[in-house]
Amino acid sequence: MEAIDFKKLLLEERKKSKKRSVKPPCHNDDDPNQSRIDTHHYQDDDATTNDGLSTSPKAAVSADPPLSWQQSTKRKIPTWSYPPGFLSLKAVALKIICDNPPTISYSSTSLLHHPPNDQSSGTNQSSSSSIDPINNSKSNEKQVSPSQALETWLTSIPSGDSGIGEWKTMSFGKRRVCMFVVGQPQETTSPSVQRTSLESSSSLPPPLEELAQELVEQGIFTPETRPNHVLLNEYQPGQGIMPHTDGPAYYSQTATLSLCSPVVMEFTPRQQRQQTMMMGTSNKPMPPLQVLLEPASILVFRDDAYLEYCHGIPMDVWQDTTTDHCLNTSANQTIHRGFRYSLTFRHKKETCFEK
Ligand SMILES: O=C(O)CCC(=O)C(=O)O
Ligand SMILES: [Fe+2]
């Protein structure tokens, strides 16, 4: 199994956009993924969009010197001035929503509306029930919900060609992506030294670092598999992401925080997807498992769901309809898609960092 490194994919995208700047624009015919036959389990929309998506060797590009997000963006990242605790997660609400595989968990209300240590809101809450719990703080900074603050922060990230610490529009799929990675570990023989240098050499930008810390504190990730990699996706209405797996470069778990519009994600067994691609739909594949991803929700999937299932969001669809196979809501609901952000937290294995 071979996985593409997102950094390499972004470099490939950069090369493609250089090529595009000297020739008339064309749709997707310059996209290697369009004609690519996957060597193992899926065809991604944009092998250029996902870190660790498996793909054929020909999509790999020669390695340029590694970049950290700080190096590539020269501190253009928007500031984050909210107090610690503002982005608290309500992990206690995270529930396993699937029997087979029992490795998909979801919480519709993961992002707390209140910083637990916000003195002013606590006081106001107890003194008057008529005060809007989100706007009851005196400080301007606190007069938005954590979701709104995060959305504003995401919107303020600059655009750029690298996709590392800046929004990059993918050539196929057209959605924008942005990646943050904690710095590469130093070469050393001692795993403990390696971990220390990984933590000290760099960190995620503040809101993402806080969320990563919360994911550990709430027991969703272990301290050893603390998220060191965050992929942001920005979807315009109708945009999606082709079925894919996130690949073996990561510890086999992802946690995705959704913001803005709801959407329905689909899980399909990898084997089935492979068969469908080879034989068409004649052998009646199982309908996909669905998960409704609501704003401020968190989806965690791991192990079998990570390794043996592809996940994706149907593309060019403006409304989703839930089926009997939807794991967290009833069938026959129409979900209108609008603008959406997702923040996917993963732990990239140390062995998979470029040296
Ligand atoms: O947007 C989402 O919820 C999913 C994103 C995803 O699967 C990925 O970036 O690998
Ligand atoms: Fe993914």
Q: Which residues line ligand 1 (CB under 6 A)?
A: 50, 231, 233, 241, 246, 256, 265, 293, 311, 342, 344
Amino acid at 350: E
As a whole number of angstroms, the distance between CA 291 and CA 172 comes to: 24
Supply the pLDDT for residue 104. Answer: 96
Least confident range of 14-18, 186-190, 316-320: 186-190
Percentage of residues of the chain with pLDDT beyond 90? 47
pLDDT class for 76, splitting at 50, 70, 90? Answer: confident
Shortest-distance ligand to the CA of residue 234: 1
Q: Is it the case that residue 199 has pLDDT exceeding 90? A: no
Supply the pLDDT for residue 11. Answer: 59
Q: Which of 79-83, 130-134, 277-281, 327-331 has the highest mean pLDDT?
A: 327-331
Question: Per-residue pLDDT tens for 326-336?
Answer: 999 999 999 99
Cβ atoms within 10 A of the Cβ of 74, count?
8
Q: Which of 162-166, 198-202, 262-266 has the highest mean pLDDT?
A: 262-266
Query: What is the average pLDDT score of the chain?
Result: 74
3-class SS at 348?
strand
What letter would DSSP give residue 346? E
pLDDT class for 15, splitting at 50, 70, 90? Answer: low
**Are the CB atoms for 230 and 246 separated by under 8 Å?**
no
How much distance in Å is there from the Cα of 137 to the middle of ligand 1? 34
Supply the pLDDT for residue 10. Answer: 58
Q: Is it the case that residue 126 has pLDDT exceeding 50? A: no
Supply the pLDDT for residue 54. Answer: 33
**Are the CB atoms for 292 and 322 separated by under 8 Å?**
yes
Supply the pLDDT for residue 14. Answer: 57
Q: Is it the case that residue 60 has pLDDT exceeding 80? A: no
How much distance in Å is there from the Cα of 301 to the middle of ligand 1? 12
Question: Per-residue pLDDT tens for 200-215?
Answer: 347 899 999 999 999 9
Supply the pLDDT for residue 308. Answer: 94
pTM over 0.90: no
- For a ligand 1 pocket test, name from 241, 253, 258, 265 the mutation site with the most ligand atoms within 8 angstroms of its C-beta: 241
Supply the pLDDT for residue 213. Answer: 94
What letter would DSSP give residue 95? E
Q: Which of 105-119, 140-154, 189-203, 213-227 has the highest mean pLDDT?
A: 213-227
pLDDT class for 195, splitting at 50, 70, 90? Answer: very low
How far does CA 178 lie from the centroid of its chain? 9
pLDDT class for 246, splitting at 50, 70, 90? Answer: very high
Question: Per-residue pLDDT tens for 275-303?
Answer: 666 666 556 778 999 999 999 999 999 99
pLDDT class for 53, splitting at 50, 70, 90? Answer: very low
How high is the ipTM of this complex? Answer: 0.99
- For a ligand 1 pocket test, name from 230, 254, 344, 345 the mutation site with the most ligand atoms within 8 angstroms of its C-beta: 344
- For a ligand 1 pocket test, name from 49, 54, 55, 311 the mutation site with the most ligand atoms within 8 angstroms of its C-beta: 311
**Are the CB atoms for 337 and 263 separated by under 8 Å?**
yes
Supply the pLDDT for residue 241. Answer: 96
The owner of tokens 């997102």 is 6
Higher pLDDT, 256 or 15: 256
DSSP states along 255-317: EEEEEES-EEEEEEEHHHHHHHHHHTTTT-PPPPEEEEE-TT-EEEEEHHHHHTEEEEE-SS-
Supply the pLDDT for residue 69. Answer: 67
